[in-house]
Amino acid sequence: MEFSTGFGWTRLPVLAAAFILGSVLTVSAQIIPPFSPPAAAPDEEAEAADTPDVNDPDVLKGIDVDKLDWGQLAIDAGTLNDLIAAKKRAQAAANDGMNWSSNANANGSSAVTVKQSVSSFWDARIGADMTVTSEPRTMSELLAQKAANGGNLPQSSGSAWAAATAPGAGPIWDKTAVEARVDPGAEQSKLGASLTKSVPLSGDTSLTLQNGYSVNQQGTTAVPGIGGHITRNYETDQSAKVTLTDTGTSITAGQTLSTTDDKWLRKFGAEQKLFDNVTVSGSVGETSQGAINKSLTAGFKKSW
């Protein structure tokens, strides 16, 4: 932020001296109160104590105004910008630290998520999603955890992930997103990438095109007599989303193809914003078995 004035910083000491001199004259004018008839008050002594007196000590006594260092007030705009930039860097460093969050599940476990920013240039992040179980301390807690988990005790599990968002390639696409996830307990891993292109149609309408590609890998644990093996599934998806900003409506149409299916599976969905932080969305899509999958959800999102 830069400040400019027609007087210039060189006249700031003169203005400050004039301000202090005016304040001193005002205080001196208030030392002798104007004559007013006595008013009835419950505590006249307290009122008389608050009235300024000529015998009050002078706060400027012993201070030579001519020897004051007025240069302390001469802070140029460049120095002020450096202070603001340093404050912003400190806030960014605090936000880039490791963030933890935890939510309790109904079966007695806790969902723990940890993430940390690696690079602000490409918006690179790493993290882990974990399900942490606690040992039951009493028989009632043991029975409650088994009842909430289908008769078995909940098991701890977790997966590590890394994600990055990078610029696109000129007019071809706008944004590139890459994500990798590994779940050692389930012997699963996934590597995916998506390319996004946004095209404005009018002042309040926009079209977003997205192509996604992913590789899912599933391994099996080797047992005596049977060796483990790895299977891979390749998947691609294409979608187009039209957003109407004025009405808060978005319509999406897309299709998905994977190596486990022999045809494209189409999907159509819509989302409507009812009012602040509340949305309703529905979708209709095909499945590999030939049935139609329908869903209708409502969501509320609030950030502090």
Is pTM beyond 0.85 here? no
Task: Report how far residue 181's alpha carbon sits from residue 193's, in angstroms, rounded to the nearest whole number.
Answer: 12
Task: Check residue 238 and give left, alpha or beta (phi > 0: left; psi -120 to 50: alpha).
Answer: beta
Query: What is the edge-to-edge ordering of all strands in the sheet holding 292-300?
Result: 99-104, 110-119, 124-132, 157-167, 175-183, 188-200, 205-219, 230-244, 249-258, 265-275, 278-286, 292-300
Confidence at residue 300, expressed as pLDDT on a 0 to 100 scale: 77
pLDDT, position 195? 95
What pLDDT does 115 receive? 81
Give the model's pLDDT for residue 91: 61
How crowded is residue 219: how many other Cβ atoms within 10 Å of its Cβ?
Answer: 15
Strands 175-183 and 99-104 come out as unpaired
DSSP assignment of the chain, as one string? -----SS-GGGHHHHHHHHHHHHHHHHHHHHSPPP------S-HHHHHHHS--TTSPPTTTT--GGGS-GGGG---HHHHHHHHHHHHHHHHHHHTS-EEEEEE-TTS-EEEEEEEEEETTTTEEEEEEEEE-----SHHHHHHHHHHTTTS----EEEEEEEEEEE--TTS-SEEEEEEEEETTTTEEEEEEEEEEEEE-SSSEEEEEEEEEEEEEEE---BTTB---EEEEEEEEEEEEEEETTTTEEEEEEEEEETT-SS-EEEEEEEEEEETTEEEEEEEEE-TTSPEEEEEEEEE----
Residues 6+ apart with CB under 8 A from 275: none
Cα–Cα–Cα angle for 41, 42, 47, rounded to 5 degrees: 60
Biggest CA-to-CA distance, the chain? 112
- List of the chain residues with pLDDT < 50: 1-42, 46
pLDDT the model gives residue 37 = 46
